[in-house]
Amino acid sequence: MISRFILAGLAVGLSLLINVSGVSAAEDAHQFRIKYRCSTTDPQTTEHALGRGQSLILVECTRGPYNQSYLLLRKKAQGNLSALSIKDWDPGQKRFVRTSLITNPEFLSGKSEIYGFRKGRGVADCGDRGLWRWRSGRLVLMRFWRKTVCDGAPFEGDQWQIFPRASR
């Protein structure tokens, strides 16, 4: 089966370039953008191989001065898309919740892992960081760090880790 690039004209004149094997995937991506109320008018899209003919597709949903959120979609070998969810920290609820959005993602293809980093401010000295690994058809939270104090000191190291909790 030969993959091809399809340029799908989306509502409000925006367009999205996705490497798909059928028209339905581009239409599905547009439907996910509507469902999650995405606001970017020129979304960036990347695709990452997960193995067994599956791919992780990241579709930009919102863009701010230093944080960009992306929809997490899985493309199956047949070309159809489905939303993926991850366990992520919700600062308002002060607990982990399921979501299909990730902030400032960085995919590590050799390990099938993805990092997300939600910056508390532009200098990136506070916020949340998460690491998820592709396992058994889903993204599993492996580690999570949270630094609430924006103090100018670098946000690095394990002292900010909140998941898994350190044994005492």
Per-residue pLDDT reduced to its tens digit, 49-90:
998 899 999 999 999 999 999 999 999 988 889 999 999 999
For residue 22, what is the DSSP state?
A: S
What confidence score (pLDDT) does residue 104 get? 97
In sequence order, which residues have a C-beta less than 8 Å from that of residue 101 and are 6 or more positions away?
A: 36, 61, 69, 70, 71, 72, 88
What confidence score (pLDDT) does residue 46 get? 94
In sequence order, which residues have a C-beta less than 8 Å from that of residue 156 and are 6 or more positions away?
A: none
Q: Is the pLDDT of residue 100 over 60?
A: yes
pTM score over 0.95? no
User: In a 3-state reduction of DSSP, which class is residue 149?
Assistant: coil
* Rounded-to-integer distance, Cα 30 and Cα 17, Å: 11
Q: What is the mean pLDDT of residues 24-30?
A: 69
Quickly state the pLDDT bin for 21 (edges 50, 70, 90): very low
Q: What is the mean pLDDT of residues 133-161?
A: 93
Q: Is the pLDDT of residue 167 over 80?
A: no
Give me the phi and psi of 125, to 5 degrees please. Answer: -95, 5
Q: Is the pLDDT of residue 15 over 80?
A: no
* Rounded-to-integer distance, Cα 13 and Cα 10, Å: 6
Q: What is the mean pLDDT of residues 146-167?
A: 88
Q: What is the mean pLDDT of residues 103-114?
A: 94
